[in-house]
A and B are shown apart, each in its own frame.
Chain A
Amino acid sequence: DGGITQSPKYLFRKEGQNVTLSCEQNLNHDAMYWYRQDPGQGLRLIYYSQIVNDFQKGDIAEGYSVSREKKESFPLTVTSAQKNPTAFYLCASSITVSSYEQYFGPGTRLTVT
């Protein structure tokens, strides 16, 4: 089955710890994205990657970091510098960066206390 997987589904961390969220796709898509969703708000773009070894900041990149060493993987690290990390995180991919139809993974709900 082709698709996007995110793990874990739920993640709990103590304040001050870095945490890495996994995103893997087997759709052979070039472009991948990370969004954050808060209650009552739409999705906000954190980072995106057009191709392997390349990524750009989105609208709310502060306190986050990413890597794109393999086409199928785009992990997101939430660092201790992120002031309000508790949220629902969604990963997405598209065939290319010009393909505006994005396919989403099931999300990871991160709770930091």
Chain B
Amino acid sequence: EDKVVQSPLSLVVHEGDTVTLNCSYEVTNFRSLLWYKQEKKAPTFLFMLTSSGIEKKSGRLSSILDKKELFSILNITATQTGDSAIYLCAGSIYNQGGKLIFGQGTELSVKP
């Protein structure tokens, strides 16, 4: 059975800290790994990673995929209170109609 597991499930840090969120996957016919940020309601897209070892960056956020060890990490540097959210990772599958397998999410709380 395909599955995606995120760790930790929750995390509390202070502003300015750097955090690393983990996502491991076991997905048959794996195509790509996606990261979303969910603040209260609609998840918003952060990154899609298809190739191993190539870091994607957006401001203070970065992510990388390791297809050999079947995991991805999302780094957030110099955290701000606005980074508080649930971070979701999901694996996509070839020829499965856009189906995504989501992890449980990591709830990040950034304290002032």
Contact = CB atoms under 8 A, between A and B. Distances in A.
Q: A and B: real partners?
A: yes
Interface residues of A, number: 28
B104 A42 contact: yes
Q: How large is the interface on B (under 10, 10 to 19, 20 to 34, 35 or more residues)?
A: 20 to 34
Interface in B40-72: 41-45, 48
Interface of A: 4, 31, 33, 35, 40-45, 48, 50, 56, 58, 90, 94, 96-107
Given A41-B104, A101-B45, A107-B41, A56 B98 contact: no
Given A101-B45, A104-B43, A107-B42, A43 B99 contact: no
Interface of B: 4, 6, 9, 31-32, 34, 36, 41-45, 48, 88, 90, 92, 97-100, 102-105
A100 B42 contact: no
A42 B97 contact: no
